[in-house]
Amino acid sequence: MSNCNGSGSPVAAVTDPCALLPQLRAAFYQLAAGQVKAVVRNGDQWLEFQKGDAKTLQHEVRRLEAICGASRVGAVRVR
C-alpha cells in the first residue's frame, strides 16, 4: 500500500476533507513557491508533502475543491 510519506506508516484518517482543504491548498502553494517540504496537521497526525508530491497534492486540492464547492477557478457569475 502506498502512502504520502513512503515510510510504511499507516495513512492518516481524514474525517472531514473539506475542513482540511485550506491547509492542503496552503501546502501546495508553499511547494509551488519552492519550499522543500510542507507539513499539514490533521488532528494529532501530521502529513508531510515533499517536492516530488506537488502534482499529487495539486490533484487532491482540485478534487476537494470540486467536491466541497470551494473552487476558485471556473465560471464567474455576473449580475
Task: For 9-33, write each residue's pLDDT tens digit.
Answer: 555 677 788 888 888 888 888 888 8
The band of 3, judged by pLDDT with boundaries at 50, 70 and 90, is: very low
Identity at 23, one-letter amino acid code: Q
Residues with Cβ within 8 Å of 77's Cβ and at least 6 positions away in sequence, in order, are none
C-alpha cell at 24: 492542503
Is 0.85 surpassed by the pTM of this model?
Answer: no
Across the strands, what pairs with 38?
A: 49
Predicted confidence (pLDDT) per residue in 27-67, tens digit:
888 888 877 778 888 888 888 877 667 788 889 889 988 98
